[in-house]
């Protein structure tokens, strides 16, 4: 019987957040180089990359 507990739930939340961040990065108006760097940061450092992207990363191309 599989027992995920809180660690499994936390991992799923981080994974969902990373996917959301990557999709937002890809849709942003930043240059392709910046997009690639941010995607690599999020993929290689899942939790830290997600937090850094949230505060420092490129925003979507939508204004207002």
Q: Report how far residue 60's alpha carbon sits from residue 63's, in angstroms, rounded to the nearest whole number.
A: 8
* pLDDT average, residue stretch 25-50: 93
* Res. 20: pLDDT tops 70: yes
Bridge partner list, 28: 60
pLDDT of 61 reads 53
3-state DSSP call for residue 37?
helix
Q: What is the pLDDT of residue 63?
A: 43
Q: What is the mean pLDDT of residues 15-41?
A: 93
Contact between 28 and 35 (Cβ < 8 Å): yes
| pTM for the predicted model, two decimal places | 0.79
């Amino acid at each position: 019987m599989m027992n995920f507990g809180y660690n499994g739930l936390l991992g799923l939340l981080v994974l969902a957040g990373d996917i959301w961040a990557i999709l937002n990065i890809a849709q942003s108006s930043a240059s392709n180089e910046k997009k690639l760097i941010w995607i690599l940061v999020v993929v290689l450092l899942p939790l830290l990359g997600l937090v850094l992207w949230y505060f420092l990363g490129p925003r979507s191309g939508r204004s207002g």
